[in-house]
């Protein structure tokens, strides 16, 4: 009888590549749904759920992201100061005016695990408003989503 063994990989066993994604004229949720599995490493055959094997992702042109429907006026982002009556809200159109990077980070964050590993994966996401970024030395390869 053949015995089957499951291989378990560590972060040191694999190399993590750098990926460049252009967010120009992309839909926010669909873009986030492509980014989150790559941060987790689910596109690799060596995927292990309890290890961070995903790639580093650079998103450029975050200021030209699109949304569908009435989300610009209806979608709200909440934060709380911790004090009574300290709930603040901001609509998506105001958030895109101030900081479009936060909208993409928030969308991807909701698709990652809610634990230490998910927070570690989110640190590998780099989002920039314009086309220039400080990661030229890592030689990111561009993929089309």
- CATH number of the CATH domain containing 74: 3.90.1180.10
CB atoms within 10 A of CB 27: 13
Inside any domain, residue 2: no
Number of domains in the chain: 1
- Under a CB-based contact definition with an 8 Å cutoff, are residues 44 and 19 in contact? no
Radius of gyration of the chain (CA): 18
CB atoms within 10 A of CB 18: 16
Inside any domain, residue 59: yes
Portion of the chain with pLDDT greater than 90, in percent: 81
Q: What is the largest CA-CA distance in the chain?
A: 66
Inside any domain, residue 3: no
Residue 32 predicted with pLDDT over 90: yes
Main-chain phi, psi angles of 17, to 5 degrees: -90, 170
pLDDT for position 9:
78
Inside any domain, residue 94: yes
Can you give the pTM of this predicted structure?
Answer: 0.90
Inside any domain, residue 132: yes
**Domain ranges, residue 42:** 16-142
Question: Which H helix or E strand runs over 31?
Answer: helix 28-40
- Under a CB-based contact definition with an 8 Å cutoff, are residues 56 and 19 in contact? yes
- Under a CB-based contact definition with an 8 Å cutoff, are residues 93 and 73 in contact? yes
pLDDT in tens, 117-141: 999 999 999 999 999 999 999 999 9
Inside any domain, residue 91: yes
User: Confidence class of residue 80 from pLDDT cuts 50, 70 and 90?
Assistant: very high
How high is the mean pLDDT of the chain? Answer: 93
Inside any domain, residue 11: no
């Amino acid at each position: 009888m053949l015995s089957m063994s499951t291989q378990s990989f560590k972060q040191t066993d694999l190399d993590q590549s750098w990926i460049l994604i252009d967010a120009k004229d992309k839909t926010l949720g669909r873009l986030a749904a492509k980014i989150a599995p790559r941060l987790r490493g689910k596109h690799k055959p060596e995927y292990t759920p309890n290890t961070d094997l995903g790639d580093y992702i650079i998103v450029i042109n975050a200021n030209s992201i699109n949304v569908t429907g009435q989300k610009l006026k209806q979608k709200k982002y909440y934060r709380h100061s911790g004090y009574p009556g300290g709930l603040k809200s901001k609509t998506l159109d105001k958030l895109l005016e101030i900081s479009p990077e936060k909208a993409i980070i928030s969308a991807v964050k909701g698709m990652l695990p809610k634990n230490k590993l998910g927070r570690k994966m989110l640190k590998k996401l780099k989002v920039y408003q314009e086309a220039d970024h400080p990661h030229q030395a890592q030689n990111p390869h561009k993929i089309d989503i």
